[in-house]
C-alpha cells in the first residue's frame, strides 16, 4: 500500500510567517533561537521559509523556548486549500518518492 505525505505549502508559509513574527517580538535572532532550541540555524531558516515540513516535536520545543502557548504560535488564518503542490507518495520501502499531480 502506498503512503501519502502531504506538503501543504500555503499552510507552512502561514506558519513560517507567524513563527518569524513571534521570534522577532521576543527579540531573538534566528541564530539565538537555534542555539536555545539546539537546532541548526539552517533548520530554523528552512522552517521560517517553509522549505521543510517540521515535526510537531520541533514546534513544541520552539514554543517552549519562546515561552508561549501553542495557540499563540498558531494564531493565523489557515488558507482554505493548497493547490500549489501535489501529494508525494512513497512508492516502496526504499522511500522512492514520486509526485502526484
pLDDT for 50-76, tens place per residue?
Answer: 999 999 999 999 999 999 999 999 999
Binning pLDDT at 50, 70 and 90, where does residue 2 land?
Answer: confident
Question: How would you class 1 by CB atoms within 10 Å of its CB: exposed for 0-12, middle for 13-18, buried for 19 or more?
Answer: exposed
Question: CA neighbours within 13 Å on the CB side: how many for 18?
Answer: 19
4 pLDDT above the threshold of 90: no
pLDDT the model gives residue 25: 97
- All structural domains of the chain, each given as residue ranges with its CATH number in brackets, are 8-80 (1.10.260.40)
Amino acid at each position: 500500500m502506498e503512503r501519502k505525505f502531504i506538503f501543504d505549502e500555503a499552510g507552512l508559509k502561514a506558519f513560517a510567517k507567524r513563527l518569524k513574527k513571534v521570534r522577532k517580538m521576543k527579540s531573538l535572532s534566528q541564530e539565538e533561537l537555534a542555539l536555545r532550541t539546539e537546532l541548526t540555524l539552517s533548520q530554523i531558516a528552512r522552517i521560517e521559509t517553509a522549505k521543510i515540513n517540521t515535526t510537531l516535536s520541533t514546534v513544541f520545543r520552539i514554543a517552549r523556548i519562546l515561552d508561549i502557548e501553542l495557540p499563540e504560535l498558531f494564531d493565523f488564518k489557515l488558507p482554505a486549500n493548497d493547490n500549489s503542490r501535489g501529494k508525494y507518495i512513497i512508492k516502496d520501502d526504499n522511500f522512492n518518492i514520486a509526485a502526484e499531480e
